[in-house]
Amino acid sequence: MGADPRRNGRADAFRASALLACSGVLLAGCASMPDSGDIHPVKASQGADSQVRVYAVPPRQGASPDEIVAGFLEAMTSDDANFAIARKYLMAEKAKEWRPEESTTVLTAAPDSEPPEAGDGENPGMSSRLVGKQIAMVDAQHAYQPITPTDFSRTIHLSRQSGPDGKEWRIDRLPDGLVLGESDFQRNYRSVNKYYFAAGRGDVVVADPVFIRQRLDPVTRMDPLTQTVKALLEGPTDWLKPVVESPFPAGTALKEGTRSLTVDDRNALKVPLNEKASHVGRTQCQQLAAQILFTIRNMTSTRVDQVELQRTNGSQLCVLDSSQAEGIVPDPTSGRPGNQYFVDKQKHLARLPGGAKDISEPESVSGPFGNGQLQVSHVGVARDESTAAAVSADSSRLYVASIISDSQLGDAVVRSKGKTAVNRLSAPSWDGRGDLWVADRDLKNPALLRLPGGSGTPQPVEVPGLDGARIEALRVSADGVRIALLLTKGGKTTLSIGRVEREGPKKDKVSVAELRPAAPQMETVTAVSWAGPSRLVVVGKESGGVQQVRYIQTDGSTSAASILRGLSGVKAVAASDDESRPLVAYSDSDGIVQLPAGANWQTLVKEGSSPVYPG
C-alpha cells in the first residue's frame, strides 16, 4: 500500500512484540525465542507462501496501546493453539468471549491501525481505528463470500487491566472474528470442495467449496483432512442447501475426541463416527462413504482410494473403494466428453476430435448444422454429443438437430423479435439433466428460457434479483443446480452465479434464486465457461486494467496465480468439465486456440469462432 506513515509507525511501535516467520525447512530453529540480539518485526501480508509459519509472542511488560493493537493484529495471523497468544492482548473477560472461528474478514492487505486516541469521561481508555479495503467475508460455515472492494473501518478500544506488574493496556472491544489481509488469508487457508447429492438425484454430486486451515486448526486442533470431513458432516453451506441433500442422519459427526484422520499404506481412510450413524443401512452408508471419498481424495500426497466408516465402538459400518463409488455416482472431475466444437469460416458447426493436435483435423458434423442447411452464429452441444442447438447467423432463431446422423432442418424452437443481433438470442447451454437453456435479449421482452429435454416447449424461468439487469450470456453447470449469468446494466457486464431451484410435483417449475457476484473485482466480464465442479474461466477487466483470462472459484475466490497470460483480444472461451482437458478460446487475432496443461497457447484453427465443449 506504499509508504503509509500509519503502517511505519505501527512497525516501529511493535519492535518488542515481534512475530517469527519460518519456512518449513527452518522450523526446528524457530522452536524457541532467542535470548539475545535484536528482535525485528515481521509484517503480516508479506506473501501467501503456505510453507511459512508465523509464531506470535505475548505483549511485553508496559506495552503502549499502539504496541498492543499492532501485536494483536499480527497474532491473529498465527497458528497458535486456540489463539492463546492473541488472547493475551485482550482483557480477561474479552479473551474468554472472543470467537475467532465465527468469521474471517478478508482485506486487500493487512489492516492499518490509526494511532490510538484518548477517550473522554464517558468513554475512558484509548481507541484505534482499523482501516483497509474489504474484499470478502468467510462465515462460520467456512463459506467465502466476495464483495466489491469496500472501505473497511472498525474500532478497537483499550482499557487498563490490573496485573501482577501493575496496570497494563489491554483490548476490551474489537471486531468480530479474525481480520486478515488477503495474502495472510491465502497462507493460512485452502479451498476444498465438499460434495453433496443434487436434490432428488442420487447419481449426481454437487461441489460446495469451503475454506479450511492449511495446517492444524487453532481452535479444534484438527489437521486439514479431519477439518474437511468435519465440515462435510456439518452439512452444505446455506446458499447451496436448498438444492442438495445428504444421506447423513441428522447429528452425524466424527467420534468425540477425533483430531486426526490418517491414510494407511493401502491408501485407505478410516472415519470413526458418533452414535447417530451407528445404525445406517448399507446403501446409505456407501453413499456417505462416496461423499467423503470425492471430498478428500486429492487432499493428501497419496491419493485416497478407499473409505471405511466405523461405529463409535470401532466396528465397521461399510467400506467403499473408488471403483464402487463410480457405481454409485460418476466422479465429478473426470470422464467427460473430450471433443471440442466451433463455428468454422463457412458458419457451419465443426468438430475437433479429443486428440486433435493441428489445424488439419477439424471435421464437419453430420446434419443441418454441418452440411450447409443453416449458417449459425453460436452453438451448444448436448453432453452426450448426439444433439446440438444452434442459433442462426442473425441470432433470431434457435434450432435443435442431430449431429451424428443426416436430417432435415426442422422448425425453430425459439424465435426472438429483437431489432438487432446483439438484442436477440444468446449462445445456448445444456445442463446435466438434458435441458436446453437460452436467453432472449430482446429489449422489449427479455427472458431466460428453458426447453425440457432440449426439444420441449420453451418455459420462462423467473430470475428474482436482476434489478433491471439484462441477461447477456449464460452457462449452466453439469450438475444442473447452478447457472453462471453475464448481466448487463448501466453499460457494464458483470458475472453472477444463481441457484437453479425446481418446485412442483414434477419439479417442472424452475427458477433461479439468490444471485451472488462471482467476480466483483472485475469491472466488466465478456465471456465465461464452467471449468470443473466449482471453477469458472472468465474473460474480463478490472477497473483501469487490461483484459484478463483467469480462473475463479464459484464462491468468487481467486489468486494471482489463476491469471492465464499470453493471449489478447479474447471474445469467447470454453473449458471442459474434465479439468485435464485443454482450455479453448477464440481470439480475434489468433483464431481458435487451446492451452494444454503445462504448455503455451497453440493455434488450432486460424479462421473460426464460438468454441465450445459439450454442455
What DSSP string describes 407-467? ------SEE---SSGGGSB---EE-TTS-EEEEE--SSS-EEEEEGGGTS--EE-B-TT-T
67, 127: one domain = yes
How does residue 32 score in pLDDT terms, banded at 50, 70 and 90?
very low
pLDDT in tens, 320-366: 999 999 889 888 876 565 789 999 999 999 998 765 555 557 899 99
- For residue 124, tell me if it sits in a domain: yes
User: How many CB atoms neighbour CB 300 within 10 A?
Assistant: 15
Both 324 and 345 in one domain: the answer is: no
- Do residues 519 and 493 lie in contact, with contact meaning Cβ atoms separated by under 8 Å? no
Place of cell 482501516: 131
pLDDT at 121: 64
| 228-266 exposure pattern, b = at least 16 Cβ within 10 A, e = fewer | bbbbbbbbbbebbbebbbbbbbeebbbbeebeebebeee
Angle 224-233/282-296 helices, nearest 10 degrees? 140
9 and 30 together in one domain: yes
Of 145, 176, 207, which residue is a domain's last?
A: 176
Q: Which of 99-103, 113-117, 450-454 has the lowest mean pLDDT?
A: 113-117
- Single out the residue of 430, 401, 440, 413 nearest to residue 529, CA to CA: 430
306: left (phi over 0), alpha (psi -120 to 50) or beta: beta
Domain final residue, candidates 281, 300, 328:
328
Q: Is residue 315 domain-shared with residue 445, that is, in the same domain?
A: no
Residues 305 and 376 in one domain: no
pTM of the model: 0.89
Question: Is residue 135, in this structure, part of any structural domain at all?
Answer: yes
Of 141, 176, 211, the position where a domain reaches its end is 176
- Helix, strand or coil, per DSSP, at residue 17: coil
Q: In this predicted structure, which of 43-52, 413-422, 468-477, 569-578 has the lowest mean pLDDT?
A: 43-52
Mean pLDDT comparison of 87-101, 153-167, 352-366, 551-565, highest-scoring range? 87-101
> Which is more confidently placed, 161 or 139?
139
Q: Are strands 104-107 and 178-181 parallel, antiparallel or unpaired?
A: parallel
Domain presence at residue 304: yes
Based on the fold, state whether residues 494 and 355 are members of the same structural domain: yes
- Looking at the structure of the chain, the number of domains it has is 3
The edge-to-edge listing of strands for the beta sheet with 591-595 is 570-574, 583-587, 591-595, 602-605
H/E run at residue 524: strand 522-530
pLDDT tens per residue, range 519-544: 998 999 999 999 999 999 999 998 88
Q: How far apart are CA 106 and CA 94, in angstroms?
A: 22
Residues 91 and 201 in one domain: no
DSSP-based three-state secondary structure for 554? coil
Q: Are residues 470 and 491 in the same domain?
A: yes
pLDDT confidence of residue 354: 65
The answer on pLDDT for 126 being more than 50 is: yes
Lowest mean pLDDT among 251-265, 269-283, 349-363: 349-363
For 347-384, b where at least 16 C-beta lie within 10 A, e where not — what string? bbbbbbeeebeebeebebbbbbbbeeebebbbbbbbbe
What pLDDT band is residue 507 in, cutting at 50, 70 and 90?
confident
Of the listed ranges 8-12, 41-45, 64-68, the least confidently predicted one is 8-12
Nearest to residue 256, comparing CAs of 222, 292, 296? 222
- 571: cell is 471474445
Judged on CB neighbours under 10 Å (0-12, 13-18, 19+), 210 is buried
Strand partners, 599: none
Q: 207 is in which domain, residue-wise?
A: 196-328
In a domain, 187, yes or no: no
CATH number at residue 596: 2.120.10.30
Residue 183 lies inside a defined structural domain of this protein: no
Beta bridge partners of 150: 134
216 in the same domain as 123? no
CB atoms < 10 A from the CB of 570, how many? 21
Name, in order, each residue with C-beta under 8 angstroms of 357's C-beta and a sequence gap of 6 or more: none
In a domain, 353, yes or no: yes
- Let me know whether 154 and 209 are in one domain: no
- Dump pLDDT digits (tens) for 579-592: 888 999 999 989 99
Residue 613 is predicted with a pLDDT of 95
Least confident of 156-170, 236-250, 259-273, 422-436: 156-170
Across the chain, mean pLDDT equals 89
Q: Mark whether 465 and 518 lie in a shared domain.
A: yes
| Residue 18 scores a pLDDT above 60 | no
Q: Are 575 and 451 found together in one domain?
A: yes
Whether residue 333 lies inside any domain: the answer is no
Range from 225-229, 332-336, 405-409, 611-615 carrying the lowest mean pLDDT:
332-336
In a domain, 186, yes or no: no
- Helices 65-75 and 5-13: crossing angle in degrees, nearest 10, is 90
Phi, psi of 424 (to 5 degrees): -115, -135
Instruction: Give me the residues paired with residue 585 across strands.
Output: 573, 593
Higher local confidence (pLDDT), 544 or 308: 308
Q: What is the model's pLDDT at position 43?
A: 45
Within a 13 Å sphere around the CA of 320, how many CA atoms are in the beta-carbon half? 27
Beta bridge partners of 397: 415
Residue 14 has pLDDT above 80, yes or no: no
pLDDT band, very low/low/confident/very high, at 3 (cuts 50, 70, 90): very low
pLDDT: which is higher, 48 or 452: 452
